[in-house]
Amino acid sequence: MLLEIDNLTKHFGGLAAVDGLSFGVGQGEIVGLIGPNGAGKTTAFNLITGILKPTQGRLTFDGHDVTYKKPHQLAKLGVGRTFQLNPLFPKFTVLENVVASCYLHPHSRSIDAFFNTPTYRRNEALIMEQALDTLKLLRLDEVKNELASNLPHGYQKMLAVARALTVRPKLLLLDEPTSGMNWEETELTLSTIERMLGTGMSVLLVEHNMEVIDICDRVVVMNFGRKIAEGSVDEIRNNKDVIEAYLGGDHAA
């Protein structure tokens, strides 16, 4: 297992946003994390990526105990993520967004950067090349000089993925990557994800769009911070508890 989540719990005051969550993501697997709004999916993401500290539980990534590690340390270990809200550097252009994100690979030391050494220049040239390639891959190269905040919503989401890829992640966490996208953009995102899986990357995906969930190997369903079901897409679709979780709210209303 690449990522192991063990009894992950997070309390905010008296409320448990995530309660005893346990599951794993294997090498080259794509796992979907679904659940009604407020189920704790984004909180789980924030716990996994080190933005929040768990109240209880353990996180293991690639053999390392990362329960209390900070976000930048996780990025170094190979965890990349996108953000659902505010996914970009708004004042940078598209190209700048990606280039600025290429912090780790290759990493230049401050001294090299300041004195403009050959190493630094080589690194920056490489970064520029990588960035342009990534943008071309995601069909963003035409807008590379546009201010990121001017982009239409779908493009912004693609840019967020481009950004997350600069970490050369072994595990990519995508937080609702296709929300607000039209059909074409969703297709493009799906094919990009599939291509990444082909390179051995693992993906953990939070989604509401059931057609995107279809490509997952496994699905974990959360509600009220707990895991209520886990299994293949078909198993989940027919799971009683899952159906009730999604529809139960309607009945109550």
**Residue 91 contacts other proteins per CB under 8 A:** yes
Which of 13, 37, 110, 252 forms a contact with other proteins (CB under 8 A)?
110
Residue closest to 228 by CA, chosen among 13, 86, 41: 41
* Number of other residues whose CB lies within 10 A of the CB of residue 229: 19
**Residue 136 contacts other proteins per CB under 8 A:** no
**Residue 150 contacts other proteins per CB under 8 A:** no
**Residue 177 contacts other proteins per CB under 8 A:** no
**Residue 108 contacts other proteins per CB under 8 A:** yes
CB of 199 to other proteins, least distance (A): 19
Which of 1, 51, 52, 190 forms a contact with other proteins (CB under 8 A)?
51
Residue closest to 92 by CA, chosen among 147, 156, 151: 147
Burial of residue 15, with CB atoms counted within 10 A of its CB: 0-12 exposed, 13-18 middle, 19 or more buried: exposed
Q: What angle do CA 138, 140, 141 make, to 5 degrees?
A: 115
**Residue 87 contacts other proteins per CB under 8 A:** yes
CB of 182 to other proteins, least distance (A): 24
Give the count of residues interacting with other proteins (CB under 8 A): 45
Enter the DSSP assignment of 159.
H
Which of 11, 26, 28, 89 forms a contact with other proteins (CB under 8 A)?
89
| C-alpha distance from residue 250 to each of 27, 223, 240, 243 (Å) | 38, 15, 16, 11
Half-sphere exposure of 241 (CA within 13 A, CB side): 15
What is the enclosing helix (H) or strand (E) of 205?
strand 202-206
Which of 15, 53, 64, 113 forms a contact with other proteins (CB under 8 A)?
113
Residue closest to 18 by CA, chosen among 56, 52, 44: 44
Binding part of the chain for other proteins, among 25-33, 73-81, 226-234, 238-246 by CB under 8 A, reads 73-81
DSSP lists the bridge partners of residue 178 as none
Which of 3, 47, 59, 75 forms a contact with other proteins (CB under 8 A)?
75
Binding part of the chain for other proteins, among 58-66, 107-115, 135-143, 233-241 by CB under 8 A, reads 107-115
* Number of other residues whose CB lies within 10 A of the CB of residue 4: 18
Nearer to other proteins by C-beta: 91 or 153? 91
Binding positions for other proteins, rule: CB under 8 A: 49-51, 70-72, 75-76, 80-81, 83, 86-93, 95-96, 99-104, 108, 110, 113-114, 116, 120-121, 124-125, 127-128, 131, 144-145, 163-164, 166-167
